[in-house]
Amino acid sequence: MSRLIVVSNRVALPRDRSARAGGLAVGVLSALRRTKGLWLGWSGETVETPAPQPRLVRSAGITYATIDFTALEFDAFYNGYCNSTLWPLLHFRPGLLEHSRANQDAYMRINARFADQVASLVKPDDFIWVHDYQLMMLPAELRLRGLRNRIGFFLHIPLPGPELFCILPAHRQLMGSLAQCDLVGFQTESDLRAFRDYALYEAGGQVRPDGTIEMFGRRLHSGVFPIGIDVEELESLAGEAETDDEARRLADSIAGRQLIIGVDRLDYSKGILERINAIGELLSSRPDYRNRITFVQIAAPSRIDVARYRHLRREIEGRAGRVNGKHAEIDWVPIRYLNRVFPRRQLAGFYRVARLGLVTPLRDGMNLVAKEYVAAQRPEDPGVLVLSRFAGAAREMKGAIIVNPFDTVEVAEAIDHGLRMPLKERQERWQRMMAALRRNDLATWSDSFLDTLTTAERAAA
Ligand code: ADP
Ligand code: F6P
């Protein structure tokens, strides 16, 4: 019988689930809970000599297979090529890109190592679903090893058009590798358009009337599969968590003020600095908000060995300190900044207490926090979502107040608008967003990707 093999760099291992924030792990885990199968990825550990075989753990019908990196591989592959080269470029920040041939070589080698592991575990009928930018060379490496299985690839983060993507010296290898898939999926139409543009204008390929793409001598399917959330899980978590100590402590501590919440991995793509500026702008332009609002920013430490991330952390601390220094009163500070990970249930409780969810990334593939915030609201008294137009989620969350996160004044005005919004309008907007969340939840995402992968006419070699 066919089995699903999921391959991603990050794996949500049963032992440390709450310790890792990130949309991919949350999404893939919920999908695999339904389909079962095997999940191969990095253990999160570095060792002197990685074992030749992956470590296998079985839990709740899922087999987890993990490999270790050496410290040098972690530095060149993960900190280097993945998070200092691909991540900034694919988030439209070429100015932050760092490139070295040594890191690129490490990326190729680690992708080849993943391919060796898949080849040792795979059976002829298995479907292979590769996730995200860390493993873009994997499809080509799998074909090099003679695998004829159906291979799907899903990009969780944005894809810029060829003008930006071609800055990467290895752009042809990476796109040539994606062409080895049967199906390549994206979060939004604009990411898919960028992929097709690459095929048409850079690879000299074609988009056929049936939507399949021809490039690098292959024909493959592509599509938009916006990742959703497990709506019912969030609803019930938020309902239960509302009466937990943590949520009550938060509610008591804001003492009748209006709570604004931001929850992110600490990443420059999330627009946290700009968001703090917007809070400062609001308090300067409308002093009547002093002592009437509290902004809680929760930021989970992320990629702390990359200098740019450490620098951002210091900048955020400095910026929040300055806004607090300027506007705080003896019995109130406007910004509470928490640099840590919280269990999902506690987060859900915090979302529910917050009157306004402030989700303002400068660029984001989807942004699950926006969706989680909406699903966690109390139907009779829901909060308002202020959402960046540059988050993939903005295509679906039409009931949000959509903003340009670079425009501090616009974001401050949106917060003001949201905080003053009458109950009836909040309910209407929330119902529209909930309907969209239910139409396209996490199960729909994985089912529709896997249905397309399994039923699509076989791509031609
Ligand atoms: P990304 O994948 O870039 O991190 P998403 O918003 O799509 O961004 O997904 C982030 C996921 O990580 C969400 O499920 C969110 O609940 C979780 N998360 C973010 N910050 C924290 C935190 N401080 N503590 C616990 N979970 C977090
Ligand atoms: O969801 C996008 C993503 O980049 C995933 O690929 C990744 O697992 C997650 O964010 C968190 O980042 P990291 O795995 O580097 O901690």
Minimum-distance ligand 2 atom for the alpha carbon of 87: 4
The reported pLDDT for the residue numbered 311 is 97
The reported pLDDT for the residue numbered 29 is 86
Minimum-distance ligand 2 atom for the alpha carbon of 303: 15
Catalytic residue list contains 221: no
Listed in sequence order, the residues at least 6 apart from 423 whose beta carbon sits closer than 8 Å to its beta carbon are: 381
Q: How far apart are CA 199 and CA 86, in angstroms?
A: 19
Minimum-distance ligand 2 atom for the alpha carbon of 366: 1
Our mutation pick for probing the ligand 1 site, out of 26, 269, 441, counting the most ligand atoms within 8 A of Cβ, is: 26
- The protein residue with its alpha carbon nearest to ligand 1, atom 24, reads 341
Minimum-distance ligand 1 atom for the alpha carbon of 264: 20
Q: Is the CB of 22 under 6 A from ligand 1?
A: yes
Q: Is the CB of 263 under 6 A from ligand 1?
A: yes
The reported pLDDT for the residue numbered 449 is 95
Q: Is the CB of 393 under 6 A from ligand 1?
A: no
Q: Is the CB of 275 under 6 A from ligand 2?
A: no
Name the token pair of 91. 């988030």
On whether the CB atoms of residues 156 and 24 are closer than 8 A, the answer is yes
Provide the sign of the torsion angle of the four alpha carbons 279, 284, 289, 291, taken in this order.
positive
Of 261, 406, 413, which is closest to residue 337 (Cα–Cα)?
261
On whether the CB atoms of residues 231 and 437 are closer than 8 A, the answer is yes
Question: Strands across the sheet with 335-338, in order?
Answer: 335-338, 293-300, 258-265, 356-359, 384-388, 401-403
Name the token pair of 435. 């309907």
Catalytic residue list contains 364: yes
- The protein residue with its alpha carbon nearest to ligand 1, atom 14, reads 23
Residue 365 Cα to ligand 2 midpoint, Å, equals 11
Our mutation pick for probing the ligand 1 site, out of 347, 362, 374, counting the most ligand atoms within 8 A of Cβ, is: 347
- Give Cα separations from 252 to 210, 245, 256, 337, 374 (angstroms): 57, 10, 8, 17, 22
Question: SS3 letters for the chain?
Answer: CCCEEEEEEECCCHHHHHHCCCHHHHHHHHHHHHHCEEEEEEEEEECCCCCCCCEEEEECCEEEEEEEECHHHHHHHHHHHHHHHHHHHHCCCHHHCCCCHHHHHHHHHHHHHHHHHHHHHCCCCCEEEEECHHHCCHHHHHHHCCCCCEEEEECCCCCCCHHHHCCCCCHHHHHHHHCCCCEEEECCHHHHHHHHHHHHHHCCCEECCCCCEEECCEEEEEEECCCCCCHHHHHHHHHHHCCCHHHHHHHHHHCCCEEEEEEEECCHHHCHHHHHHHHHHHHHHCHHHCCCEEEEEEEECCCCCCHHHHHHHHHHHHHHHHHHHHHCECCECCEEEECCCCCHHHHHHHHHHCCEEEECCCCECCCHHHHHHHHCCCCCCCCEEEEECCEHHHHCCCCCEEECCCCHHHHHHHHHHHHHCCHHHHHHHHHHHHHHHHHCCHHHHHHHHHHHHHHCCCCCC
The reported pLDDT for the residue numbered 23 is 73
User: Which residue has 């440390």 as its token pair?
Assistant: 16
Q: Is the CB of 122 under 6 A from ligand 2?
A: no
The reported pLDDT for the residue numbered 18 is 55
Q: Is the CB of 265 under 6 A from ligand 1?
A: yes
Q: Is the CB of 347 under 6 A from ligand 1?
A: yes
Minimum-distance ligand 2 atom for the alpha carbon of 134: 6
Our mutation pick for probing the ligand 2 site, out of 7, 17, 18, 24, counting the most ligand atoms within 8 A of Cβ, is: 24
Q: Is the CB of 363 under 6 A from ligand 2?
A: no
The reported pLDDT for the residue numbered 17 is 57
Q: How far apart are CA 77 and CA 120, in angstroms?
A: 22
pLDDT per residue as tens, the chain (461 positions): 689 999 999 999 887 755 555 778 877 887 788 888 999 999 999 999 999 999 999 998 999 999 999 999 999 999 999 999 999 999 999 999 999 999 999 999 999 999 999 999 999 999 999 999 999 999 999 999 999 999 999 999 999 999 999 999 999 999 999 999 999 999 999 999 999 999 999 999 999 998 899 999 999 999 999 999 999 999 999 999 999 999 999 999 999 999 999 999 999 999 999 999 999 999 999 999 999 999 999 999 999 999 999 999 999 999 999 999 999 999 999 999 999 999 999 999 999 999 999 999 999 999 999 999 999 999 999 999 999 999 999 999 999 999 999 999 999 999 999 999 999 999 999 999 999 999 999 999 999 999 999 987 775 55
Residue 277 Cα to ligand 2 midpoint, Å, equals 26
Of 452, 399, 451, which is closest to residue 428 (Cα–Cα)?
399
Listed in sequence order, the residues at least 6 apart from 78 whose beta carbon sits closer than 8 Å to its beta carbon are: 9, 42, 69, 134
Residue 228 Cα to ligand 2 midpoint, Å, equals 16
Q: Is the CB of 388 under 6 A from ligand 1?
A: no
Burial of 347 by CB count in 10 Å (0-12 exposed, 13-18 middle, 19+ buried)?
A: buried
On whether the CB atoms of residues 295 and 415 are closer than 8 A, the answer is no
Q: Is the CB of 156 under 6 A from ligand 2?
A: yes
Provide the b/e sequence for 272-283 (b: ≥16 CB within 10 Å).
bbbbbbbbbbbb
Measured from the alpha carbon of residue 364, the closest ligand is 1
Q: How far is C-alpha 429 from the chain's CA centre?
A: 24
Name the catalytic one among 91, 131, 132, 156. 156
Of 414, 441, 409, which is closest to residue 429 (Cα–Cα)?
414
Single-letter code of the amino acid located at 90 = L
